[in-house]
Amino acid sequence: MKEKRKTLFGELRYIIFWSVALSLLISSALFVATFFHTARVQQKDNVTLLARTAASTVEAAVMFADQQTATEILDDILKDEKICRITVYSGTGISGDVFAQSAKPCGIDPEKGRKNALLSLLSSKAVRAGISNGGQQLGVVEIVNDDAVYLGLLYRGGGVLVFCLFMAIAMASVSARWMERRFATELASLSGMAHAARLEGDFTRRLPVFEIAEFNGLGQDFNALFSEIQARNAEILLRQSHLETINKTLSSQAMSDPLTGVANRACFSEQLEIAISKARANGNRIGILYIDNDHFKEINDRFGHAAGDSLLVNVGKRLSGAVRESDLVARLGGDEFVILLAPLNGEDDLRHVSNKILAAMSRKLRLEEREGGIDIELGVSIGMAVFPDQARDAIGLLRAADYAMYRAKRLGRGRACMYDPSVDVALEGE
């Protein structure tokens, strides 16, 4: 089973969500606690001030023992304030007799409040203020606060806290997803560029400028790296192209005659074997023209090697001009040339090409190497042979064409002869 790995976005979302939620939870709890404490202190101060005011108000009624007036004053105070009970004691403390009292139902029963832990926490002590006249204490005013006020504050604060937490969770989730989308866009660009390079070998893509500094730095490093790789690839391709050109040149030089530019013996032997294999497979014929220059040695000895080289170059050009592009002209060595015609319909094709070659050689050659120039006559003797009519392999075919060429020379040069085994074999024995 493949191990499920954590994702970067999932971890970021988790961290952001709980960081925001926890911080807001602590902040909200501290805020509610501070608000509750401040409200209690303020309420206590208000009740203390109320007790002092009540003591000052009922002072005259206590001094003249007017309980009815004192009770009416207490009723008026109780009606407008959030308190449970207000009592006036005669004497120096609450152990004295109750002189006047006014009360109303409390939001929190004091007896239940002492038994309930939460209500006990909310319950506040009674506030007292002395009643005096001329330095003589006449009594004490005691006020019992209605602690339901604090419970209401706690409920409202708790509701606010829950609402704030809900909003914090929602905002944290939205913030995490927004940040995820922001990161995802830039990371997707980085990932897409890396995938294109790995799978497609595409190093032409470039990343834009990112808003996040770390991603932007990474993206610029990617761009620089891809530019370097692209430059190196271009250099490698250039070197490969150069090497291919060199290889083609070397191959061409290895398979061509350096003087005349036509194919050399190695190239001809290879192409002849290929042509014979195809002819065997397809049932076709191929033809060979074995060509030897007449009087080449005399021309070379009389006019020099430069003249001989010019003659060979010119002969190669005239031979190439007399055949098809698909045919192969080769120099076997010295003044001997050979032409491969493939495919071949019959002996008439060989005779037709031979006649074109003899006609091409009838034009004189101008040698500029001599002072003032000199015209010399060209002449060739041609031997012809057909596969598979006169030979069954490359060596036999070339030998047959060579025999026919020598017969052409013996018959007076400047002509073409088809291989005839009854004649050429007999001549070979002479």
- Return the DSSP state at 6: P
Alpha helices (H) in 196-328, listed in sequence order:
213-255, 265-282, 296-303, 305-321
Residue 265: what residue type?
A: R
- Return the DSSP state at 368: T
Rounded to the nearest 5°, which phi and psi values hold at 125?
Answer: -80, 155
Write the DSSP assignment of 36-48 as a string of letters.
HHHHHHHHHHHHH
Cβ-count burial 110-136 (b if 16+ within 10 Å, e if not): eeebeeeeebeebbbebbbbebbeeee
Catalytic, 294? Answer no
Spell out the long-range contacts of 201-209 with Cβ–Cβ below 8 A and sequence spacing 24 or more: 203/229, 203/230, 203/233, 204/230
* Class of residue 316 by CB neighbours under 10 A (exposed 0-12, middle 13-18, buried 19+): buried
Q: What is the dihedral of CA 258, 262, 268, 274, to 10 degrees?
A: 130
Structure token digits, residue 184 = 């995802």
Distance of alpha carbon 321 from alpha carbon 237, whole angstroms: 38
- Angle between helix 305-321 and helix 347-361 axes, rounded to 10 deg: 140
**Catalytic residue from among 257, 292, 335, 424:** 335
Distance of alpha carbon 179 from alpha carbon 38, whole angstroms: 39
**Residue 275: closest CA among 318, 216, 359, 338:** 338
* H helices, E strands: number in the chain: 13, 11
Distance of alpha carbon 3 from alpha carbon 189, whole angstroms: 26
- Residues with catalytic annotation? 335
